[in-house]
């Protein structure tokens, strides 16, 4: 296990919360890294928030790979994890190792994240055997949301909750160094966190998880439209940007930009 991953795993025994956020480009990743975030996830939420696609299922390896490289180039301290997109693991997982190695060996990411599906533990074992560290993801798994009744809270009924506990345990037993739990009742987040030896990272899974993750664009107020209930907006960056862009447009139209201080003379 690399020292960076060991450091994340040890945080659970030290009861130190793990801070994770998504990033998709060089500039944003550099800010997150300078701010002391523990884990930066190149999430396949890239599909929704950056590429304007309807579902995460639609993003392919080429896009994930190029954004992973951009984030890697910026990050000096945090652990860089990248999502295995739907096409890299499903419906046929035979090439999952090939794609995962592109992320770690060519793009230089520290680990990959895999959303739960039936063959997930086997895929995790094969990646680990080849030296690729893996983070798991249970609860609401957006890549297969249609099989879960859509994008909604998972594990409300006791039998559903039990299924999610078993999935999380199967991923930890297969060797995942950490498991993301998305959109489940707080009690279920607590139960999984108590039962796993590896850290859990919650997104809409309550305060008892060992760490928290949010989609960067949601927490910065950059996402247009409605954000999920579990999002807390820490800024309204889209308002700031609109004000700045409108000021620029006004000054260009009125001939006020550029002025002397932005001009060259021979
Ligand atoms: O793609 C993503 O942003 C994620 C987080 C929601 C955990 O998987």
Ligand 1 atom index nearest CA of 45: 1
- Per DSSP, what are the bridge partners of residue 79? 39
Whole-number Å distance, alpha carbon 248 to ligand 1 midpoint, is 34
**What is the pLDDT, as a whole number, of residue 93?**
87
Does ligand 1 have an atom closer than 6 angstroms to the CB of 22?
A: yes
Query: Which of 20, 23, 44 has most ligand 1 atoms within 8 Å of CB, for mutation?
Result: 44
Does ligand 1 have an atom closer than 6 angstroms to the CB of 180?
A: yes
Can you say how many angstroms the Cα of residue 245 is from the centroid of all Cα atoms in its chain?
A: 29
Query: Which of 142, 143, 230 has most ligand 1 atoms within 8 Å of CB, for mutation?
Result: 142
- Residue nearest ligand 1's atom 2 by CA: 43
Judge contact between 142 and 127, C-beta under 8 A.
no
Going from the C-alpha of 238 to that of each of 56, 64, 103, the distances in angstroms are 23, 24, 31
What three-state secondary structure class fits 142? Answer: helix
The residues, ordered by sequence, that sit 6+ positions from 114 with a Cβ below 8 Å of its Cβ are 84, 89, 96, 120, 123, 124, 127, 134, 135, 136, 137
How far apart are the two ends of the chain, measured CA to CA in Å?
59
Whole-number Å distance, alpha carbon 163 to ligand 1 midpoint, is 21
Q: Which residues of the chain have pLDDT under 70?
A: none
Q: What is the phi-psi region of residue 122: left when phi exceeds 0, alpha when psi lies from -120 to 50, beta otherwise? A: alpha
Ligand 1 atom index nearest CA of 142: 8
> Which residue segments constitute the domains of the chain, with CATH numbers given?
3-235 (3.20.20.60), 237-266 (no CATH)
Does ligand 1 have an atom closer than 6 angstroms to the CB of 213?
A: yes
Cα torsion 112, 113, 117, 120: sign: positive
E-only strand ranges, the chain: 18-22, 39-42, 79-83, 111-115, 134-139, 178-182, 200-203, 211-214
The Cα–Cα gap between 20 and 210 comes to 11
Whole-number Å distance, alpha carbon 44 to ligand 1 midpoint, is 6
Whole-number Å distance, alpha carbon 250 to ligand 1 midpoint, is 38
Which residues are catalytically annotated? 182
Whole-number Å distance, alpha carbon 217 to ligand 1 midpoint, is 11
């Amino acid at each position: 296990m690399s020292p960076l991953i060991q450091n994340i795993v040890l945080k659970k025994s030290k009861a130190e919360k793990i801070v994770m956020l998504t990033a998709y480009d060089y500039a944003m990743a550099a800010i997150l890294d300078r701010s002391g975030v523990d884990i930066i996830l190149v999430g396949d939420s890239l599909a929704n928030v950056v590429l304007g696609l309807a579902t995460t299922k639609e993003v392919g390896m080429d896009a994930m790979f190029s954004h992973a490289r951009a984030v890697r180039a910026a990050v000096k301290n945090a652990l860089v994890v990248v999502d295995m997109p739907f096409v890299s693991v499903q419906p046929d997982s035979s090439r999952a190792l090939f794609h995962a190695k592109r992320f770690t060996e060519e793009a230089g990411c520290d680990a990959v994240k895999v959303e739960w599906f039936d063959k997930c533990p086997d895929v995790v074992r094969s990646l680990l055997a080849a030296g690729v560290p893996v983070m798991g993801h249970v609860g609401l798994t957006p890549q297969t949301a249609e099989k879960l009744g859509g994008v909604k809270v998972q594990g409300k009924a006791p039998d559903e909750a039990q299924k999610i506990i078993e999935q999380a345990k199967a991923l930890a037993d297969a060797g995942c160094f950490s498991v993301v739990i998305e959109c489940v009742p707080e009690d279920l987040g607590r139960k999984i966190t108590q039962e796993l030896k590896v850290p859990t990272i919650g997104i809409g899974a309550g305060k008892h998880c060992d760490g928290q993750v949010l989609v960067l664009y949601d927490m910065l107020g950059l996402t247009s439209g409605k954000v999920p209930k579990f999002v807390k907006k820490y800024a309204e960056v889209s308002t700031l940007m609109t004000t700045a862009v409108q000021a620029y447009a006004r000054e260009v139209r009125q001939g006020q930009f550029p002025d002397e201080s932005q001009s060259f003379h021979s």
